[in-house]
Structure 1
Amino acid sequence: MAGRTSPKKDTSSDYRKNAQRAEIAAETQRLTAYLAPTVASEGLFLEEIEIRLAGAHRTVHVIVDLPETETGGVSLDRIADISRVLSDAMDEDPNDDGRPYSLEVSSPGVSRPLTEPRHWRRNTGRMVTVFPLRGDAVTGRLVETDAEGITLIPELPVKKGMKAKQGEKTHLAFSDIAKGRVEIEFAHLEDEPAGEDADEFESTAEEA
C-alpha cells in the first residue's frame, strides 16, 4: 500500500519571509490608523504607507495627497511641513517598539494609476486615458465624476499633423474601469511641483 505524501512544509527561509510579510502588513495597518488623523489635521489625505525592513531598521514611506476638493499637486513646502509633523508623531507613538526608522514622505505624482473614485475626482478637467475591463483604452477630457462613474469627451484618432477632434460625451461606470492615468499636458505643468520626481522630500529620524 502506497504511503501518503506528507504536506509540504515551509522551509525556515519561507517561514521567515511569511512572518516578515505578516509583520509588515500589521504594522502598515497600525501606522495608517495612527497617522491618518495627523495628516488630515494638516489639510492633506493619507494615500498610502509602505514599509520596508532591513534587519532591525525600518523605512516608512508615507504618500500624501491633496483632498478631493483641491486641484493641482502637493507643493514641496507642504511636503517638508508634513514631514516634520509626521516625524514628531512617530517619535511620540505610544505603541512603537523603539526600532530605528527612516521616514520618507512624498506625493503620488502624475504617474499614479487612477484606481479610486477620489483619484478621478481630483483630476476632473484633465486629459486622461481610461483602461476598461473589456475593450480598448479611451483617451479624452475628464469633465465630470459622479457616484457611479466618470464622464469624458473622447479624443478621436486623426492623421498625424491634423488638429485633434472630439467625440460625444461618454459615461463609463467605475465597475467597468480597470484603471486610468493622467496624460501630461503643457497647460497643466504649473499644477505639478517641479515634476513627477521633484515632489519627494525625505526626512530621516533615527532612534536608539
Structure 2
Amino acid sequence: MAVRPNPKKDTSSDYRRNAMRAEVAAETQRLKSYLAPTVEMQDLFLEDIEIKLAGAHRTVHVIVDLPEDQSGGVSLDRIAAAAQVISDAMDNDPGDDGRPYNLEVSSPGVSRPLTERRHWRRNTGRMVSVSVERGDDVMGRLVSVDDDGITLIPELPVKKGMKAKQGDPVHLAFGTIRKGRVEVEFAHLEDDPAGEDAPDDETTAEEA
C-alpha cells in the first residue's frame, strides 16, 4: 500500500517568527520605560509604542495623548514638538543597538477603542457606543466616569427624520462593558478641529 509522504513541519521559520515577536515585545517595553519620562516632560501621556521590523530597519510609532485631566485633542504643534524631543531622546538612547529607524509620532485618533478608565475620562461629554456583556448595545452621551464604571444619557431609537430623544441616565460597570468607541459628531469636528474626532495627527521624524 502506498504511503503518502508526511513532510516535516518547517519549525525553523516558526522559531524565527517567534524570536522576532519576542524581540519586538521586549524592545517595545524597554522603549516605553525609557521614553515615558520624556513624553511626560512635554505634558503628554505615552499611550503606546508600536515597532515594525523590515530587515535591519525599524519603524517606531509613538502614540501620545493629553493627560487624563485635560480635554480636547493633541494639536499638530504639540505633536511636532514632541516628535523632536522624542527623536533626540532616541538618538541618545544608551540601550539602542544602532539599527536605522523611522520615528512616527501621532495622537490616538477617534478610532481608538475605549479600553481603559482614562480613555473614558478623556472622552467625557462625547457621544459613545458601548457593547455590553449582556443586553443590547447602548449609545449615548458620556456624562461622568467613576472608579466603578461610566454614566451616560442614552439616545433612544426614533423614526427616521424625527428629533433624537434622550433616556434616563444609565450607569454601566466596567466589568459589564465589552468594548466602547467614540461616535464622530460634526459639531465636535467644527469646534475642535485638532481633537480626537479628527484623523490621527502624525509627524514623521527624519530617518535615523
TM above 0.5, one fold?
A: yes
Instruction: Give distance in 1, aligned partners of 2:46 and 2:72.
Output: 16
Which amino acid is the alignment partner of residue 191 of structure 1? D
* 1:10, distance to aligned residue in structure 2 (A): 6.1
* 1:134, distance to aligned residue in structure 2 (A): 2.1
Determine if contact 1:87/1:205 at 8 Å carries over to the other structure: no
**1:193 matches 2:194:** yes
* 1:75, distance to aligned residue in structure 2 (A): 0.5
Structure 1 match to 2:126: 126
RMSD after superposition? 1.4
SS in 2 for 1:78: helix
Structure 2 match to 1:3: none
Which amino acid is the alignment partner of residue 193 of structure 1? A
**1:178 matches 2:178:** yes
SS in 1 for 2:150: strand
Question: How many pairs are equivalent?
Answer: 199
Following TM superposition, the consecutive aligned residue runs of length 4 or more in structure 1 with deviations greater than 6 angstroms are: none
Deviations along 1:15-48, one digit per CA (max 9) or x if unpaired, are 1100000000000000000000100010000000
Instruction: Give distance in 1, aligned partners of 2:50 and 2:20.
Output: 14
Instruction: Give distance in 2, aligned partners of 1:157 and 1:201.
Output: 40
TM-score, normalised to structure 1, is 0.92
1:4-83 equivalences in 2 (<5 Å) = 11-83=11-83
Gaps of 5+ in 2: 1-7
Percent of paired sites with the same residue: 73
Structure 1 match to 2:98: 98
* 1:104, distance to aligned residue in structure 2 (A): 0.4
Name the stretch that deviates more: 180-189 or 150-159.
180-189
* 1:111, distance to aligned residue in structure 2 (A): 1.2
**1:205 matches 2:204:** no
* 1:197, distance to aligned residue in structure 2 (A): 3.0
Instruction: Give distance in 1, aligned partners of 2:198 and 2:85.
Output: 23
Instruction: Give distance in 2, aligned partners of 1:18 and 1:10.
Output: 13
* 1:135, distance to aligned residue in structure 2 (A): 2.1
SS in 2 for 1:136: coil
* 1:196, distance to aligned residue in structure 2 (A): 3.4
Instruction: Give distance in 2, aligned partners of 1:56 and 1:115.
Output: 33
SS in 2 for 1:150: strand
